[in-house]
Amino acid sequence: MVEIHDLTKSFQDLRVLEGINLTLEEGKTYCLMAPSGGGKTTLMRILMGLETADSGEIRGLEGKRLAVVFQEDRLCEAYTPLDNVMMTAAPHVTRDTARRELCRLLPEESVGRPVCTLSGGMKRRTAICRAILASGQILLMDEPFTGLDGDTRQEVIRYIKEKTEGKLVVLSTHQEEDVEALGGELIRLP
């Protein structure tokens, strides 16, 4: 369980998060929604340890392995999707396993091509597979469905649901239908 108590964050004179209180239970999916600039990415970055809150407290992350899908794909463009996944894969994940999982989300012929030759949606799916195979206890996903068409989005949602069963998943989205498709709990940031 991750508990967030009275979390506040400002950038100069702009208050982005104020008095955020959340309890996030293991085995559940939480979908953060807010207008653009409403603090979703800031909250994710605080959970990742990349930003520091001005005040408040987060309990329950100590000793937990996080897997992350950033708002940007953050892939090594000269490497293949398979190489990108293997860079962060859990020790038990073999190249064969990673290839098989990537082929569930990408056309097989793209798995061995440099990432720089892939479409934006293919890069996004690579980033999602990379996070899933990192086998974190907590999965944080910042707008993971950006650039995915409707059918691909549904396919990726099914994949995430299957692969994250029993884990705590926190993702940000602008689409309410994602919450329902993921079987998640909606959290609207003020």
| CB count in 10 Å sphere of residue 11 | 10
Three-class SS of residue 70?
A: coil
* Integer Cα distance of 50 and 168 in angstroms: 19
* pLDDT over 70 percentage in the chain: 100
**With bands split at pLDDT 50, 70 and 90, how would you rate the model's confidence at 17?**
very high
Strands (E), 122-163: 138-142
Tens-place pLDDT, residues 59-83:
999 999 999 999 999 999 999 999 9
Q: Is the dihedral of CA 17, 173, 32, 24 positive or negative?
A: negative
What is the pLDDT, as a whole number, of residue 97?
Answer: 97
6: Cβ contacts below 8 Å, ≥ 6 apart = 19, 20, 21, 55, 56, 57
Tens-place pLDDT, residues 27-52:
999 999 999 889 999 999 999 999 99
What is the pLDDT, as a whole number, of residue 37?
Answer: 87
What is the pLDDT, as a whole number, of residue 104?
Answer: 97
What is the pLDDT, as a whole number, of residue 190?
Answer: 81
